[in-house]
Structures are given as C-alpha cells and as structure tokens.
Amino acid sequence: MSAAEPASFSLIDQPWLLVRVHDGETPELSLREVLTRAHELTELLGDVPTQVFASTRLLLAVLHGALRGPRDVDHWLELWNAETLPVGSIDAYLDQHRERFDLLHPETPFFQVAGLHTTKGEMTGLDRLVADVPNGQPFFSTRLDPRLNLSFAEAARWVVHAQAFDPSGIKSGAVGDDRVKGGKGYPIGTGWSGFLGGVLPEGRTLKDTLLLNLIARDHGDTARSAEEDLPVWERAAVGPAEEEPGGRAPTGPVDLCTWQSRRIRLDHDGERVTGVLICNGERITPQDKHRVEPHSGWRRSTAQEKKLGRSPVYMPREHAPQRAVWRGLQSLLPGAERPQGDEAAPFLSPPVLEWVGEITGDVGRDYPIRLRTIGMAYGSQSSTTEDVVDDVLDLRAVLLRQDAGHLVRPVLECAKAAEDAARALGRLAGDLAAAAGCGRDEREGPSTRAGERGLAALDPLFRRWVQDVTAETDPTGAQVDWHTAARDVLRPLGRDLIARAPMTAWTGRVVDGKLLTSNHAERTFLRRLRDVLPLAYSENVS
C-alpha cells in the first residue's frame, strides 16, 4: 500500500466472517460471499460462541434492510422456497451503503467513531477488545502481551462482538461526551446482547438459519415498518456523545441487532490493528424490551415492579452457565402452559420461537431445529467476563407450535422427571452418608455430586429422546420410553453408590429417631424412582 493510498478494509468484499462449509472446511468469507453462498454453508463460526450470535444478528440486519421486509408470511415464504437468498437485492443494498462497511474508513469506519479520542490522546491494548473468557483466562496465548495485534478480519469480528457483549465498568472518557467526569466514562451497563439469554434457532443451512430468524415485519409485538426500524448504517453517523440527551429508545428489532453500546476507534499501522479506544455509547435498559427484542426469553420481575411502580415488568431471562438448555424448556417453548386469567405470565417465550412455531406449516412440522442458547456470564457488577454459555438442543419444529400442547406437556413432564430422578440419586448418596455417621453438613457434598452425576448420565439420553419426538409421536408411548430409559440408567448408579458405601453404613445410625442403614437407603431410593418415573413400571401404564 502506497503512502498516498488510504488504508481500507471493506467488509463487503474482504474475507472476515468465519463459516463452515458442507465439506467441513472453515474458511473466512466476505459479507457478500456469506450471503450469496448461504445455501452452501452449514453455519457461522466465531472465535467465541457469542461472536456467532452477534454476527448472525448483523447478517439479519443486512437482510432486513436489503428486503425492506419480509413484509409478511407470504413474502417470507417466497424467500424460503427460493434456492438462494435474493442476491441481486443484497448486492444493490451493500453497494448503496458501501462506505459504512469499511472498517478503516476515515469518516465513517464500520461500528466506530472517526476521530474518537481522550484528552490525553491515549489508546489501549487490544486486551480491552478481545473477550478474556472463559473464567478470566487469556483467549489468545499472547493475551497478556502488550504487543498483541490483530488482522483486520479478526479485529472486525471483535468490534462486532464488543458492540454486543462488551462488559460494563469504567471506560475511557471521550472528548465530546458530556457524561465524562474526570476523564472517565462511568458504567452504563454491558453491550445490549450481554443483557440477554440469547436464543438462536438454527436450520440445515446458513440460509435456513437466517430465514428462520428473519421475522416478518408484520409479526406480533415486534412489528415495525422498514422506514422506522433501521440498522446503524442507515442512520446518521454518530459522534462521541449519545444520539439524544438521556439516551434514545430502540425503534425495533433491527435497531437492536446493530445497537451501538460503545464508541470505538481502532488504531492500525496499515497492515494490522495495534490498539483500540473503547468509550461509552448508547445507554439502554433491559426492562420491557420483549416487544422489540426477539432473541431472548423473558421473566417477570417483582423487584422491578416495586422499583418502577408498574406491573408487569419483564426482564431478559439469562442463561445459567451450568444448566442444560433442556432443563429450561418450560420458559422457552411457546406451547408450554401459562397461568390463566388476569395474572401476568411468569415467563414469556422468545418471540423468535413463537415466529418459528407460526411458520412450521410452511417449513414442515418435523423440520429439524437446532435450538441454540448463547450468552455471556459476567463477574462483579458486570465489569468482567467470566464465561460463555453455549448449548444446543435438537428438536422438531412442531414442538415450537402454540397448539402443540399434547406433545409439549409430556416433554416438559419428562424433563422434570429427569431432574427429580437425578435428585433421588443425590438423596440416596446423602442417606448413605447419614447411615455412615456423617452430619448434615457432611452429607451435602456427596448428595450434590451424586445428583450431578445423575444429570450428566441422563443428559445425552434426554437429548436423543426429545430429538425423536415428531408430529406423529404417541405422547404416552414416548413417556414410557423415557421413564424406562431413565430408570435403567439410574438404578445401576444407585447400586454403585451402595456398593461403595463404608461398612459402617451397613450397620447404620439412628437419624431423626429412626434407624437408617444402607439397606433402608436403597429401599427408599427405589421407591423414589418409582414415584418420579411411574411409567417405567408396567403396572402403572394404562
């Protein structure tokens, strides 16, 4: 590159997005290539799973903008039945907004603010941009090296990620931002996606995945016009300050897909990115955004209701890092039973899953959906990243229908039965510890470990079982199969616990006024299994 030629890195034409091709290869492709070849690609990839969530939402914003829709289900169905995404419309749209997709543009760099600076003119190391997960450990082996630099492609992925998931905490104070005090930008919260328990239904191809998430403009509470709900590159370029004093409200799902939570500027030497400046961007609060944010489940918050003096108030339902997705299906599946009458529902399903449930008649009731849950777990005051949540449950599209209660109910009952059965194994371990003379505090560890062991053993079984629940499945027969499989896995684990119990457990101890031996503990365990898995015993099947 000559000295007279300005640096440029077009995200439209230069490879930067990580993908998986059907043959298993994982190349980097440009934005144009990804959308043109989406039908040939299996999925988006990322340096961390949260990059996949942020990048997918970026692609969705491009598609919404290029299509000015889809307007309705009929328009969407045309897209679904086509072999490829509408390449002509996409090309024309990207060319129209070409300047806004240049990572290094001198006036409108992608997802950044040109000329962003502090009073001291300092930049920071790229450790502020690269997510240090999991558990605060370096993502790159060179993470702690102050000389860390990134290719333009890597930096682009991390800029998209930072706008979505950057942790809260004190930021550099940008000149021109009236919120800055003493040269510091005080915490305004995480990036928008950091508030969410991200839910992303995935299909057989990247084209299918994008269309499954491309909600028609006239659908449900998230309905917004294409002229009202715009991505950031169709809005006026921002400066260091907030767009509106006190912050502005999001106009819709597309706006939130590209929400500028931070003001960012990359520093580079013409070949590599060498530093970054990250300052506060647009403030946003998570309360009651379920009408504009489709990619999260929602929970009713009595604490927020008291604080705000109104009811109901819904907050994003975040993912628990150690809790498998199938254990939270009650709040995800649109067909799950909710309280009737005037009482507000304790949970709201992700609007994107309600949308997929609505279009299953066109997609096919037994179309395989990869229900992917992605989120970021933060540390103290959300100022550090602790872990990334990433789980996948394969199921059939029919389970996302509002009218599929005859299938959803047994699935949820079997999920609960699995947890109860694993808990029975944990209680067996606790009873054996008590029989051996352990005090209450000493029993807690063995009980917890055994319960976790039970869940770990049941986890792959449940995932395979729910994947086989189709539109034609006999609900009772499926429940019998699950109860039987769970019993057959947990009884040997119980026998193993009993075999490894100390000899003192055989003679036992008096606990709460009654003799407790390993023999008593075994009989109680088997009774508990029968109680929570009744259909595993033939006499209980009508």
For 398-427, the DSSP string reads GGG-TT-HHHHHHHHHHHHHHHHHHHHHHH
Q: What is the pLDDT of residue 4?
A: 55
Domain presence at residue 395: no
How far apart CA 430 and CA 513 sit, in angstroms, is: 17
Q: List the CATH number of the domain containing 508.
A: 1.10.132.100
Span 258-310, pLDDT tens digits = 999 999 999 999 999 999 999 999 999 999 999 999 999 999 999 999 999 99
pLDDT at residue 186 is higher than 70: yes
Q: What kind and span of H or E run contains 368?
A: strand 368-378
* Position 486 pLDDT exceeds 70: yes
What domain count does the chain have?
A: 1
pLDDT at 339: 64
Rg of the chain's alpha carbons, rounded to an integer? 26
Residue 57 neighbours by CB under 8 Å, 6+ apart = 164, 193, 257, 258, 295
**Residue 512 counted as domain residue:** yes
Q: What was the pLDDT predicted at 340?
A: 62
HSE (side-chain half, CA atoms, 13 Å) at 446: 21
pLDDT at 143: 47
Average pLDDT of every residue of the chain: 93
> Cα–Cα distance between 427 and 421 in angstroms, integer?
10
Helices (H) and strands (E) in the chain, counts: 15, 15
pLDDT recorded at residue 10? 98
Amino acid type, 374: I
Inside any domain, residue 365: no
Question: Does 438 reside within a domain?
Answer: yes
Within a domain: residue 219?
Answer: no
**Torsion angles phi and psi, residue 386, rounded to 5:** -105, -40
Say which residue the tokens 């457990």 belong to. Answer: 505
Q: What pLDDT is attached to residue 141?
A: 42
Contacts (Cβ under 8 Å, ≥6 apart) of 4: none
Q: In what order do the strands lie in the sheet with 385-396?
A: 198-202, 368-378, 385-396
Please check whether residue 52 is in contact with residue 202, taking contact to mean a CB–CB distance below 8 angstroms.
no
Q: Is residue 24 part of a domain?
A: no
Lowest mean pLDDT among 153-157, 179-183, 291-295, 536-540: 536-540
- Choose among 327, 338, 401, 365: nearest CA to 473: 365
User: Is 382 contained in some domain?
Assistant: no
pLDDT average, residue stretch 427-435 = 95
Which residues form the domain of 530?
406-540
Peptide linkage before 316 cis (omega within 30 of 0)? no
Is the pLDDT higher at 315 or at 227? 315
SS3 378: strand
Confidence of residue 341 (pLDDT cuts 50, 70, 90): low
Q: What are the structure tokens assigned to 163, written together?
A: 């706008």
Q: E-strand spans in 154-272?
A: 171-172, 184-185, 198-202, 262-268
Q: Which amino acid is at 41?
A: L
Phi (first) and psi of residue 172, to 5 degrees: -60, 145
**Global pTM exceeds 0.85:** yes
CA-wise closest residue to 260 among 290, 237, 227, 291: 237
Report the pLDDT value the prediction gives residue 439, as an integer from 0 to 100: 86
Give me the pLDDT at residue 397, please: 97
Is residue 446 situated within a structural domain? yes
